[in-house]
Chain A
């Protein structure tokens, strides 16, 4: 692998994501777990940036890192108790977890390495998708345009908000 800037960044991001993914699920402290998740999400955003999907990366940071993680942190603090903070990992569960994770990984790796991907010739990693295209595609009503899923997602979010409020409010 050539040592280009791209590659170096990718390598760093890859290691970053790998390490923090694993740390997320192995740490005992839930708060740390959430923090590591945040790092992983940042790493993911970085991947998007590397791929040239800057908008997507921005959304990722805003929604995930800015929104969801905050939710997690709040809820962790809300459900704060000794038992929940130090959620040790049950010994008996590690083995099945490992087995399925490793077996899954094995199969996926097998597929990845045996499958012959045929990258499109016109693929240019550095080429960004401009905002205008994204905006038109998102709210356009034609072919390959996404107004309908957009609206549906809006309704879904509304429903979730109402549902969340209903569920979580005190009776």
Chain B
């Protein structure tokens, strides 16, 4: 399956081509170049998936295939960084997700970004992102993951800051990069610690049991009372949390909505932000085997983040931000699913499958939601709910597809979200009923805020528009329709046949109790949302907002997390560390050097006084000298 190399190389070449020669091309040509090459990549990805999943299982599991691998950099005999392609069920699944969403976004952008300055640059960056994301998921070793991890970070930075003259976009891009970079530091240290003990970067060597002996030995060693492997994996989770916007590193994601909407759909909803989940899934074997404690932390962080951002999502008015918080919440679901696993086999590791399943369906319906939101923004030129309302008449296709996505995320059967979410809830209940109920409540909240969004956009009071909103062009609606279809039918994919924690075949069966509970909760939430927001006058929410003004205000301000960060970075790091250090450097260290110079100088000045130019003084000193010497001679003799 060497052709998979093309999947990786094509976007890279396209990036270089569009980046270097793009400004000489016409907009349309550049866009078509990008889209066609990505179409090719998508076809190859599907072909790969087909070939991979139809190949015979060995011992009941799909084999890990490394069709291509070369040594890129060598640190020592054991530690060398390879760049290669590792095909296993989750990476193949990710190939499909990435290429599909990316293709949709490429097509969509042809219409959405039409006439923008820097159109070629946009496509170049998209190609760069696609390349890095693909490189990330097919990584054969953890260091390759890290390399592409950084690259997706930078492509995200570049794309968020696409409108580089807009101060908010600049700030957002900077924030996104720095927060994730901070998290990456954790990831890097995690890699260092892990590789120090395991003496290998390779996933295959880490996972196939050959390193177990070493790792078991390492697991007994502790640092500050915690096992070194728990440190390593915990630090890696910090990296994952940064990319996947887990609390408290989530602050960059809502701001990242400053980028073009298709970018938000691709990077900040469907692919890059789930890289953290992917990473944990990738290292799942190690988490389960050597650091189950870390998994519990992951579950708790995931659940908290999920709840937290769901609450915030209920009060935001910028539609993209609502979606952003919803994304954070959904990623929280995936993290919870991974965290609640207690073993490798299909039942204890149900969450693993559920998480990957949800990753897949979520990528589709969230991309759909974002692209739909983009279509709406394209029509009304605003992100704010108050500028919308009653759009269902003007934008039927957008309306229907958006509704489908809302139903999916709310967990209404038979849409895809229902199935994946149900598996997660089942896993959570199995782990701990409290966790299960929490997640169910969050699922209800999800349904509520999504329908709040939906009603505010498409129903309710019509806002005054400069010109009548109209349905978007075909380049925009076609991706919407395609994604809607996937969203409708995606749930029926027998996911357990492809991906499970132990690789063995597993038939998904719905737990009726969990399913009914979640559907009931979802329907109730939708009903509440309908009552609240469908009418033109939204009296109840206004009243509730007044009653709970404290909570409401805190939620609107995103619980002041941004302010805390602002305080830490500006007041503490800038004002209390950097400025004093810079001052210290200029005045103490440099001052010391200057002091040495100036004291030498003043010493010279004081010595220079002897050379006063006054003859009499010289004569006096001279005489004294002679008298002294003669006196000395006389004394000696």
Q: Measuring CB to CB, which residues of chain A are less than 8 angstroms from any residue of chain B?
A: 93, 96-97, 100, 103-104, 107, 110-111
A sample of 14 cross-chain residue pairs with beta-carbon separation below 8 angstroms, ordered by A number, consists of A96-B620, A97-B620, A100-B623, A100-B624, A100-B627, A103-B624, A103-B627, A104-B623, A104-B626, A104-B627, A107-B627, A107-B631, A110-B634, A111-B634
Interface: B520 (CB within 8 A): no
Residues of A within 8 A of B626 (CB): 104
Complex CA gap A100/B626 in Å reads 10
Residues of chain A contacted by B624 (CB below 8 angstroms): 100, 103
* Residues on B facing A (Cβ under 8 Å): 616, 620, 623-624, 626-627, 630-631, 634
| Interface pair B620/A100, CB less than 8 Å apart | yes
- Tell me the complex Cα distance, A96–B618, Å: 12
A93 contact set on B, CB distance < 8 A: 616
Q: How far is the CA of A56 from the CA of B627 in the complex (A)?
A: 31
A100–B631 Cα distance when bound, in Å, is: 13
What's the nearest-Cβ distance from chain A to residue B585, in Å? 48
A84 CA to B620 CA in the complex, in Å? 23
Minimum CB distance partner of B619 in chain A: A100
Shortest distance between the CB of A111 and any CB in chain B (Å) = 8
The 3 closest A-B CB pairs, nearest first, are: A100-B623, A96-B620, A103-B627
Q: Are B623 and A107 in contact (CB under 8 A)?
A: no
* Bound form: Cα–Cα A103–B620 in Å: 12
Extra pairs beyond A107-B631, A111-B634 (11, CB < 8 Å): A93-B616, A96-B620, A97-B620, A100-B623, A103-B624, A104-B623, A104-B626, A104-B627, A107-B627, A107-B630, A110-B634
In whole angstroms, how far apart are the Cα atoms of A111 and B627 in the complex? 12
Q: How far is the CA of A66 from the CA of B97 in the complex (A)?
A: 121
Closest to B616 in A: A93
Interface of A: prevailing SS = helix
Task: Give A97's nearest chain B residue, CB to CB.
Answer: B620
Q: Cβ of A97: which chain B residues have Cβ within 8 Å of it?
A: 620
- Across the interface, which residues of B come within 8 angstroms of A103, CB to CB? 624, 627
Instruction: Determine the chain A residues whose CB is within 8 A of the CB of B630 once the complex forms.
Output: 107
Shortest CB distance A108–B (Å)? 9
Q: How far is the CB of B268 from chain A (nearest CB, A)?
A: 85
CB proximity of A96 to chain B, nearest CB, Å: 5
Residues of A within 8 A of B620 (CB): 96-97, 100
The docked-state distance in angstroms from the alpha carbon of A111 to that of B626 is 14
A97: shortest Cβ distance to chain B, in Å? 8
A107 to B623, CA, bound (A): 12
Do B634 and A107 touch across chains, with their CB atoms under 8 A apart?
yes
Alpha-carbon distance between A13 and B630 when the two chains are bound, in angstroms: 30
A110 — which chain B residues lie within 8 A by C-beta? 634
Closest residue of chain A to B626 (Cβ to Cβ) is A104
A52 to B620, CA, bound (A): 36
Residue from the set A97, A100, A110 with the largest chain B CB neighbour count within 10 Å: A100
Contacts of A100 in B (CB 8 A): 620, 623-624, 627
Q: B620 — nearest CB in chain A belongs to which residue?
A: A96
**Which residues of A sit under 8 angstroms from B623, Cβ to Cβ?**
100, 104
Within the complex, the shortest CB–CB distance from B600 to chain A, in Å, comes to 30
Measured CB to CB, the nearest residue on chain A to B627 is: A103
Distance of A22 Cα from B478 Cα, bound (Å): 122
Q: Point out the residues of chain B lying under 8 angstroms from A107, CB to CB.
A: 627, 630-631, 634
Compute how far the CA of A139 lies from the CA of B616 in the bound complex, rounded to whole angstroms.
40
What A residues does B616 contact at CB under 8 A? Answer: 93
Distance (whole angstroms) from the CB of A19 to the closest CB of chain B: 24
CB closest residue in chain A, given B628? A103
Cβ contacts under 8 Å, A104 to chain B = 623, 626-627
Give A118 Cβ to nearest chain B Cβ, in Å: 18
Give every chain B residue within 8 A of A111 (Cβ-Cβ).
634
Query: Whole-angstrom distance between the alpha carbons of A39 and B32 in the complex?
Result: 118
**Which A residue sits closest to B614, measured CB to CB?**
A93
Chain A min CB distance to B617 (Å) = 8
Complexed CA–CA distance, A132 and B623 (Å): 41
B631 surroundings in chain A (CB, below 8 A)? 107
